[in-house]
Structure 1
Amino acid sequence: MIPAQFDYVRPGSLAEASQALAADEDAKVLAGGQSLLPLLRLRLAYPSRLVDIGRLPELRGVRDEGDHVWIGAMTTHDEVVRSEVVRSGCPLVAMATAQVADPAIRHRGTFGGSLAHADPAGDLPAVVLALDGVFVARSARGERELPAATFFVDYLETALDAGEILTGVRIPKLGAGWGFHYEKFHRTAQAWAIVGVAAAVKRSNGSIAEARIGLTNMGPTPLRAHAAEAALAGVELGDQTRQACEEAAADTEPPADLHGQPDYRRHLARVLTHRAVRAATGAP
């Protein structure tokens, strides 16, 4: 299909981009376009203006900033996957980003664009949520930090205000003793996750000292499996982890569609959480 008519603006600075967004409440940011353009073609989105931020170099790149890693919003998925800074400092981010769609999309799609799109079936929101990442947004009013726990508001909705642009994300480094894994169940390599689980697990003396579990496609937003996290704390590595992971689907509201009903997704969440936790702890 042909998209509905819209104005197109390509600002030369972040300030110009913020002004263009603030001037039109129906404006949308165009980053890599891998999520927005299909919505335009299907006429599921009707922005009156597209603000193309592709020429803003300050939004691109990866930096090691001591206790965290900074990933610019316009950094492509492929750049994230290939970054040694990300692989060493935030391996869970590299693991999950390598599973986003296919190589063609990873070369065009952007890290910040995927997060700001806020699709609960996307791989990255649950990962950043599990790692307690911090989103940084800028507008004409200045800069603002938004913790991942409050960033995702509802289906395809974030806490970004009108005129705000996501400039990047700070991902804390968890350090020694932590293991990571992203487990994803999907129909094909290019498809959205039916269910995904991001696991970060800290080991200590043969037990799980702390677990962080992010769930993909188990509600209108990415979720933390708090009940499973609490059940896993202090559990010895081995068969006891399976019982603790049975709590992974607690307090979730998975969708029902052609690919799975809620009960099926809850079952997947429990099974995939156990797999992800075992892999993160290095269990055979």
Structure 2
Amino acid sequence: MTRPYRSVLYIPAANARAMDKARTLPADAIIFDLEDAVAPGEKPAAREMLKQALQTDYGARARIVRINGLDTEWGQDDARAFASGADAVLIPKVSRPEDLDRVAALVSETPLWAMMETPAGMLNAGAIAAHPRLAGMVMGTNDLAKDLGSRFRPDRLPMMAGLGLCLLAARAHGRVIVDGVYNAFKDDDGLRAECEQGRDMGFDGKTLIHPAQVEIANAVFAPSGDEIDLARRQIEAFDAASAQGKGVAVVDGRIVENLHVATARGTLAKAEAIARLAS
């Protein structure tokens, strides 16, 4: 991962004020939404407004455009409009690799991201993640819950199979993957708990529906001070052990091997990337 994706904020592409405000928000990435957040009659105008907005500076924030599906009257025009000028094109309801092929034929340069939000998408996650044009995956847990007929639970038990399949697929193929949204945007405790669950599972970050959620996501998905300190001590201890011809070290009463050092280096690299983003 070359940049952090702790907080990935949806912004309606029809809302000029929100797109302007996004330039000042500490989100790692913005999803400019032409799909669910824009009424049918406003979609062509929103597309043109977004094209103009993306010609301005959004700093280091990743700029991701969620287009309408190619099975709609707007999808092909959306894809052609953002074949360049954005950091990624996000395709809704990806259920099989062929869904990516269709957009790839229209978007020759910009990386593709996939919304993972259908039961078929969960079952085909490995093949989708293996697509050569894919760079990232976004969990669409609201649509997935609708298709499953599941009830909301704070522990997200109905989501675990789908989340796990997509996470495994993303990690197997080196893709970015961000967790689904938390709908109760005024419930900070609930948001924090769901962010911590996603972080513990291994997600890179969380999609968000309100700017007030950014601070919590950024904090949870960043390495803590204790994690950074431990990573440094693990690397130092392992290097010292290696210099003595040993294959393992001990830190805080726990064995440290090559795999732990790789994780430690990843922790420090993520912390450094976050620091660069904030500078």
Name the TM-score, length of structure 1 as normaliser.
0.27
More helix by percentage: 2
TM score, norm. by length of structure 2 = 0.27
More strand by share: 1
